[in-house]
Structure 1
Amino acid sequence: MDELTTLIHFNVPLRYNVHEFDLTSDDSKQLLKAIAPIVRESKYTAWGRVQTQREMTVLLSVWQCAEKYTNFIESSGGKNFLLSLKALSSTHPAAVSDSNGEKHGANTPEPLIIAAPFSNRSRVSYRQPVFAHTQIRLCMFPAPVAEDKRRFVCRHAGPWHNLMFGSAEVFEEYSCYYHSPRRGWCPWPIFWSTYDDIPGKVETKIQPVGKQEGVRWEVMVTLMAWRSKEKEHSFRDMEVIPRKDRGLVLIFEDWEDTLKSEGASEWKDYYVDFEMLDKVARDYIISNLI
């Protein structure tokens, strides 16, 4: 069975440091307690803040298979895990208390979950799927999407160097990526309301259609772990691929033209400064919370 990667989006006030933990701090302990269940159940976990909306945190977890994730998220432990993430958002000073003293409102949304079984064009197997300056692209397609189209869109080389010689290991050592982009289709459709809640820059060259209430869309997720912002911009502006009818075309432009021709109605990009959970955090969770 294919591994499943989940991206869980939730708000964490800036006073919580998601990368350096002070275990004498109640804030650090609360944060680690909230994520302990998913650390226990998944293969490995990384997290980071969205660059353009620092309070939004993305928790990335890799699961042995989709069934393992589904069993967890539908269990009482999974439901309590989501409630714990929502409780972190409610500690924001702008959250509103109702007559029962419970906080709610724009600052306490339900955690947003996007999942995909990512394919990997590289022959190299990587334990760490994301790094600082990881770009996430969500491509929206009208539902349903035929299986052959799903395979074609994922098989397209996409934003990846035109490798003509040498080994993948050597090539990636000198590339703008830490590893080749991961792409996969979310196993379930999502609503526009969910998509609109995720921060990021929307591609405006495409005219989105059918944003009616209740309409579902299929989502292809792409993870691009750039080595730096400068290397990303250099790749976008300079890396080309030969096409018979067009000559040399920018690789990124060629990929986006394919997405449009295959029916993508809109896509959204956002960047996350991911880090794997450090040893202090993992040791604390294993010793005290699992």
Structure 2
Amino acid sequence: MTVQDVRAFNRFYTNLIGALDYGRHLYAPYTLTEARVLYELAHSADTDAADLRADLALDAGYLSRILNRFEEAGLIERAPSAKDPRRRRVSLTERGRSAAELLDERARDSVGTLLGGVDPGARPRLAEAMHTIRTILGDPRAGGDGDGRAEVVLRDPHPGDLGWIVQRNAALYAAEYGWNTDYEGLVARIVADYAEDHDPHLERVWIAERAGRPLGCVMCVRDDAPGTARLRLLLVEPEARGLGIGDRLVTAVIDFARGVGYRDLVLWTNDVLSAARRLYRRHGFVLSAEKPHRSFGRDLVGQDWRLDLHTAAE
């Protein structure tokens, strides 16, 4: 690779991004830098000017002028930082959050339009190429050479991911609980039913990924009972446990189920899965029934758990 290769890519990409922003509609009435500051404030629960300056590599005076304009416009408010009284915490007001949400919506629509012209079969390659660039050039959130911590993202399944769900469930439950291939058969049927016939408006699969590697999964599918969704096949890889991935996956299912209008969310598990049961209980699930059974080559106690989505929302 030469310097000219990098410059050619930069010209192509900046022209592409510019083509998405006709007449500065995307960021108006803010500059690109101002829009980025709003984005960072909207995605951070507790930050201050020093954090922003470091994260965005901005000149202190330039950032100060931006924040002063935001405060005058009623977009932010500043208060003493809980982490360090010498610093000033910066947070969005309701008006500022509305502005950030509008910019985010415009950005999603623009990128969605761009991806609409990309062959679905080529999208995994595109995502992998983008991730490779971020990793090699040291983006810490992509698992590069920065601080060594990659961001865990929840995404829709790519081609091959449904097969990964079957393989990892079978392998992990065999290794950790001694379950036989009967369990693999059950998982394969669940995944095949979803792949062959699911309603994308009412059913979803999430893959938790870090640095291009899947680390967990969960499914939300329709149950036989009217108005009821079922959480299925929650899994987190052993090396990723303790990172809050299971909590995020369960939260994603609950938010999705409530958002599309389900009244109840149910699941079936076994009493040996103690960590999962604690997670469900923290999210408000209630044990509704349990029954001993012989499955997967083991004597188990099956449990039914239920979450009233209306009560949980209140």
TM value normalised by structure 1: 0.28
Q: Which has the higher contact order (CA 8 A, sep 6+)?
A: 1
* Larger strand fraction of residues: 1
Asked which structure has the greater CA Rg, the reply is 2
TM value normalised by structure 2: 0.26
